[in-house]
Structure 1
């Protein structure tokens, strides 16, 4: 089952990532250096009344929203966001009557090593009751600095409360996650365009193997490094160019994709939404222009600018908008975003793309009318037009695929010479949609194979 993506918590960015050290007085802000950098590198002309402001914050506030002057600590937190590094115990939480419930535990994180399990309810943190507190209020209590400890009181099922003291640590979240959906459709979620994203993407493609289709999910991906966008584009066959960059007083430059040894061989569905920004849009507009993917979702954020980083001796950093990016052929992204080929409702992107991939795979099959308001325990009756040779009944001929999920196991039973009944081994999930597929693998009494397969969409009540 695909996890619902969380809204982004990091700044929207696409970084040229040029680090240029500047000297400065020990205790003063580097105002002259900041003014010089803005005049030389900022993407637009800046009026004197902005440049003559008396503090770095005032000057940078007069620029675009993506230019920021950061302290050393703010910069480190910023980079940790791109690289998916956090300090904590490694749990995903939701609210519960008695406190907060553990939804998932990050593998090999402190909570995992301490034995916390999904379903555990944390009722106290360092003796403080969590009854009535929101997840937002609890997170700062559980979080803290690296190598410090937090004591949790936990309820697990009907057992007595458990107390665990866990040492907080830096956790590196994967920038790429993958799984196989029903019908041999691969799913890859790209959370950030980080240093290791291309390596993790290659590993995911290898792990999935030969798929009949691939869904690449960049919803809520706020961007990352330009080099990572070039690398990800290199996984797509015949996508040799990545984007066009336009800097102040320079000729527009087209950047090439970074070729990858492994290539995506199956049709690609790309998922975007209003929080897909910057490097995500760089990839999306390029794939759309090259007809390398079919895009599902909602219009993206519309951040078509790139930032460079300039470091000073005290560790502070100026993140400055130094360019705008476009598709290789010049399609704009800034303030307009990327429009999907198929507009979907929020949180329906995966289901819609999965359904589309399956219909493409079964293009030669005959569609039957949609079944609405189906019971979770429904038994499907399939009646053939001729007497069949059920002695060679091949249960692989029947697939029941949850859209956005895995294939459901079914039992096939012969009712008479022309009829079989198909029953899910476990109840279908209420509110979910399925695709029932009958492949042409059966023969009639005279040994003639079925002419073609059939499919129908099943909407569970």
Structure 2
């Protein structure tokens, strides 16, 4: 039996976590599988279960995260960690006429073939998709790399259906997304704890110089490699511990954070939701316990077990729960999850965090009454309580920021010596929220500077 140094960590649906080895057994794995379970499964298993006739019959009596995978299933599992898919590169939703294309992955096979958002796929290889689910469509469109699939679609304005033959390819989806939000708040989203995640986050931090706050988004992130959880925790300047593992009949072992070159050196928020699981929960638990950041969102999934991979000579793999993990100080995660510091509504995590980051920067500013359900073409009037000297108007003194987005460009129109109108150069976005801030950078006609900034929350109907 060989032992390799590969580490993985669990996803909640594709769950993956490895202890620091992968064991290899014979091409007839059943007896070896039974022994692996006896030796390494986190709980004792009755012999009556181990003596079942097939791998599937045995594993269905274990926890939901212990499964036997064929070589092909295991490769798909690893591809999921690394954000690689085999297909044509489309995002889909159900439609009465078939399956609608909502977006197309740039430079992917579908885009090169001319598929456009709004197209409705009606048939795959001649089979109708009318009344079928997105999952069915995905299974029909997907397939082996370099094979060809025939797609029939309808397009608005085109009378006859269009049939395209498209080669399936490996498509790598961006695992780390980053941008500078309005008010110089750096935003980094991590979709999976994949091999290159730490390097990509390091690059993201460096690409956002001048960030005065950070938001790290782990929503819907189901996990990945266990060492990456240590690395991601290492981006927080004061991190010491990463997590604690407890194997079968073993003593708790605490693993340290792996310090990174770049750091989240400004005040940081962590976003999570009910689908943040496994490695995401490792990081969240460490962050909360050590007070490294403020967590916004909902209680996480509660996936606090770790799986090891035992591979066989035929390429099949037994994914087996071999440990439970806890916060560095021993707080349970399994079936409990990690509670946020600030509970927010679903889908409102980013906006709430962004607003809090801005208000933190604007300490001492006065909040004016909220403007609700304003039209997208709203002009915003700012009226001062004293006469102002508008001649040296500092446009940077007024900011209109979309929460969860960028600063909106505005023009300023002087009405009188106390009033200006702020006019967005583009329509506001329906359903979104904004903050209008007036910074204390102007002087009155008495040559006295503003003493206090103001801000107002705005929602658009």
TM-score w.r.t. length of structure 2: 0.91
1:91: Cα distance to partner? 1.3
Question: Aligned-pair distance for 1:128?
Answer: 5.3
1:143 aligns with 2:146: no
- Quickly say closer, same or farther: Cα 1:39–1:349, change in 2 above 3 A: same
| CA displacement at 1:211 relative to structure 2 | 1.2
- Whether 1:359 aligns to 2:359 is yes
Question: What is the CA-CA distance between 1:341 and the residue it aligns to?
Answer: 1.0
Question: Quick one: structure 1 residues 153 and 208, their matched pair in 2 at CA, closer, same or farther if it must change by over 3 Å?
Answer: farther
Does 2:18 match 1:19?
A: no
The Cα of 1:244 is off from its aligned counterpart by 0.8
- Deviates most, 92-101 or 179-188: 92-101
Q: What CA RMSD, in Å, does the superposition of the two structures yield over aligned residues?
A: 2.2
Shift of 1:437: 0.6
The CA deviation at 1:334 is 0.8
CA separation in 1, counterparts of 2:280 and 2:12? 15
Within a 5 Å distance, the mapping from 1:151-190 to structure 2 comes to: 151-153=150-152, 158=157, 163-190=163-190
Deviation at 1:364, TM superposition (A): 2.4
Structure 2: unaligned runs, 5 residues or longer: 1-10
Task: Name the structure 2 match of 1:296.
Answer: 296
Contact 1:366/1:455 (CA < 8 Å) preserved in 2?
A: yes
Q: Secondary structure at the match of 1:211?
A: coil
**Per-residue CA distance 1:141-169 (angstroms, 9 max, x = gap):** 33222112234455555467655432110
Q: How many aligned residue pairs are there? A: 450
8 Å CA contact retained: 2:243, 2:254: yes
Worse-matched range after superposition: 309-318 or 31-40: 31-40
Give the Cα–Cα distance (whole angstroms) in 2 for the partners of residues 453 and 243 of structure 1: 43
Deviations 1:232-269 (A, max 9, x none): 11111010221111112322111111111111112221
Q: 1:351, 1:404 within 8 Å by CA — same for their partners in 2? A: yes
1:208 is paired with a residue of what secondary structure? Answer: coil
Higher mean displacement: 282-291 or 88-97: 88-97
How far has the Cα of 1:306 moved from its partner?
0.7
Contact persistence 1:13–1:222 (CA under 8 A): no
Matched position secondary structure for 1:359: helix
Q: What pairs with 1:101-250 in structure 2 (closer than 5 Å)? A: 101-126=100-125, 130=129, 133-153=132-152, 158=157, 163-250=163-250
- 1:5 is aligned to none
The verdict on how the C-alpha distance between 1:319 and 1:131 changes in structure 2, with shifts beyond 3 A counting, is closer
* SS of aligned partner of 1:265: coil
- Residues 128 and 57 (structure 1), Cα distance of their counterparts in 2 relative to 1, 3 Å cut: closer
| Alignment partners' CA distance in 2, 1:385 and 1:350 | 34
Q: How far apart in 2 are the matches of 1:250 and 1:128?
A: 54
Unaligned runs of 5+ in 1: 1-7
Shift, 1:374, TM fit: 1.9
**Helix, strand or coil at the partner of 1:20:** strand
| In 2, Cα distance between equivalents of 1:340 and 1:374 | 31
**Alpha-carbon deviations, 1:194-232, whole Å to 9, x = none?**
111112211222222221222111111111111110111
Partner of 1:54: 53
* 1:274 Cα offset (Å): 1.3
The residue correspondences of 1:309-320 to structure 2 (distance < 5 A) are: 309-320=309-320
Deviation at 1:130, TM superposition (A): 4.9
Look up the match of 1:3. none
Aligned CA distance change for structure 1 residues 314 and 203 (closer, same or farther; 3 Å) = same
Cα 1:304–1:404 change in 2 (3 A) is: same
Question: What residue in structure 2 maps to residue 447 of structure 1?
Answer: 447
Partner of 2:66: 67
TM-score by length of 1: 0.91
Find out whether 1:420 has 2:423 as its counterpart. no
Indicate conservation of the 8 Å contact 1:60/1:67, yes or no: yes
Equivalent residues of 2:12, 2:277 under 8 A apart: no
SS in 2 for 1:416: coil
Q: How far apart are the structure 2 equivalents of 1:112 and 1:401?
A: 33
Quick check: 1:296–1:349 contact (8 Å CA) kept in 2? yes
In structure 1, how many angstroms separate the alpha carbons of the residues matched to 2:127 and 2:205? 45
**Cα displacement string for residues 112-135 of structure 1 (whole angstroms, at most 9, x for unaligned residues):** 333434344445544556555543
- Work out whether residues 12 and 278 of structure 2, in 8 Å CA contact, stay in contact via their aligned partners in 1: no
